[in-house]
Structure 1
Amino acid sequence: MISFNYENDFKLDNEAQLTTWISSVIVSEGCTEDEINYVFCDDAYLHKLNVEFLNHDTLTDILSFDYSMGKTLQGDIFISVERVIDNAKDFEVTFTEELQRVLVHGILHYCGYKDKSESEAKLMREKENFYIKQLVED
């Protein structure tokens, strides 16, 4: 089950469409969906989590806590809407595209993809682009 939670004034207007899309990504990657919670928040909220749980004193757009067991995906994905807005400007894409990218990015991590090395990051970006294109075409 995919749920969307809000710690700020932001609200998705297409939760059902995004739920279907995320579920299809999970199936396409050969995984099973369990409980996945997206939490939309601001920079301060996410920064506090980043310091408290990862000892990283930096801003980030997404922070995921993976409770998956094997190919059964479960976890909490926190997204700073402020970072998504800023990143969209920096990368010269729409807010919607950047939001879709972070939504699928968290799921791809749960599916086992990494992004620490250059080759891992390249594969992650290719997967993100592939799935974003699927959402746009639907």
Structure 2
Amino acid sequence: MAINFTPHEVKLNLKNKTRLKTFIKDLFVREGQGLKNLQYVFCSDEYLLEINQEFLKHDTLTDIVTFELGDEPDITEGEIYISIDRVKDNALKFKVSEEHELHRVIFHGALHLCGFKDKSKEQSALMREKENEYLKLYFGIDS
């Protein structure tokens, strides 16, 4: 079981990587989803927009794109692309620290791979609830 964090042409200040990897593994266990391999790629708006256009046919900026790469339904092999530019902007917009927003998006991607969606209002509300649950567990505070 491997989790990797890779910056792609961006500066990344990710603290406590070992603790975070352990926490993400525990998140998958808590959600009843196996985990084989997970790659987080931290990038710019421009790079993630190219991915969004090429693979999802969306011509919009986004903070995250998640890909399930495996073919076993209960074992995750995935890639998660996160725009550091969007994380910084959203931290300002939502009046939270960049560290808090970065972890929210990291957990958001993992939750997608565990089967959570965010297309409808109800799905988005549940996703936000789960993000807040994991932020509280990780940071030990109300989020």
SS of the counterpart of 1:112?
coil
* Number of the residue aligned with 1:114: 117
Q: Amino acid of the residue matched to residue 16 of structure 2?
A: N
Displacement of 1:120: 0.6
Distance 2:11 2:50 in 1: 18
Select 1:88's aligned residue among 78, 87, 91.
91
- RMSD over equivalenced CA pairs, Å: 1.3
1:58 and 1:30 map into 2 onto residues whose CA distance is 32
Instruction: State the Cα deviation string for residues 42-89 of structure 1 (Å, max 9, x = none).
Output: 111101111111111111000111124212111100000010000011
Structure 1: gaps of 5 or more residues: none
Q: Structure 2 length as normaliser, TM-score? A: 0.92
Q: Can you give the 5+ residue segments of structure 2 that lack an aligned partner in the other structure?
A: none
- Percent identity over paired residues: 46
Match of 2:131 in 1: 128
2:7 matched residue in structure 1: 6
Q: Which amino acid aligns with 2:136?
A: K
Partner in structure 2 of residue 48 of structure 1: 50
Distance between the aligned counterparts of 1:73 and 1:100, measured in 2? 20
- Structure 1 runs of 4+ with >2 Å offset: none
Aligned residues: 138
Per-residue deviation, 1:15: 1.0
CA distance in 1, matches of 2:54, 2:65: 12
| Structure 2 residue corresponding to 1:24, chosen from 23, 26, 37 | 26
* TM-score of the pair, normalised by structure 1: 0.95
Q: Provide, for residues 92-133 of structure 1, a one-character-per-residue CA deviation record: whole Å limited to 9, x for no partner.
A: 111111111110101111111111111110011001100111
AA matched with 1:133: K
